[in-house]
Amino acid sequence: MNTIHRVAVYCASSSQADPIYYEEAYRLGQCLAEAKVEVIYGDGGRGLMGELARGVLSQGGEITGVIPQFMVDEGWNNPSSTRTHVVQTMHERKALMERMCDAMVALPGGIGTFEELLECLTWKQLGLHAKPVVILNTNGYFDILLSAFDQMVAERFIRPVHKQMYMVVNRAEEVWPALLSAEPWDSSTRRDAAI
């Protein structure tokens, strides 16, 4: 069983999506708080980020935001976060979130969320971390991306083993059990990065 104390969650700030996405984000926050893990996120007060934070706090959990100064200047930060780390750039934000966490979870989102998920997987592929990564595929949102991964394997841009870098679940309640049951990732697989 993995020892997980902090989970980084990547998700959208959009407030225009279907309600099911907000409900699952809120429920995930509750589930992680009930598991007594600290949640690390992008410190947004709106969209899935805001609901995730509300879910964590509703159960007395701790949620730590990491946000660039320019977003604070725009008023995009969440003053309800347990604690906040203000950084200068998006690169610093992602690097700090990765350093702080023991595992990573991606919820539905836009370009930024996809970029964060793909960077986490890139780092894992290169052996820079061996942390569990879970994709919460609410409403089949990630089906197209998962199909793209299949295509990458079929076209020999990545190896079949690289599909073992992540797990896919469909409901918030399945995230924590998936993280706990994650198979260890051998960071020596860096040698498999080149195909």
pLDDT digits (tens, 9 = 90+) for 55-112: 999 999 999 999 999 999 999 999 999 999 999 999 999 999 999 999 999 999 999 9
Please give the tally of structural domains in the chain.
1
Confidence of residue 18 (pLDDT cuts 50, 70, 90): very high
Q: Count other C-beta atoms under 10 Å from residue 89's C-beta.
A: 11
**Domain ranges, residue 133:** 6-180
Residue 1's pLDDT is 47
> What DSSP string describes 101-142?
-SEEEE-S-SHHHHHHHHHHHHHHHTTS----EEEE-GGGTT
Residue 192's pLDDT is 66
> Is residue 130 one of the residues assigned to a domain?
yes
CATH number of residue 15's parent domain: 3.40.50.450
> Is residue 187 one of the residues assigned to a domain?
no
> Is residue 143 one of the residues assigned to a domain?
yes
> Is residue 138 one of the residues assigned to a domain?
yes
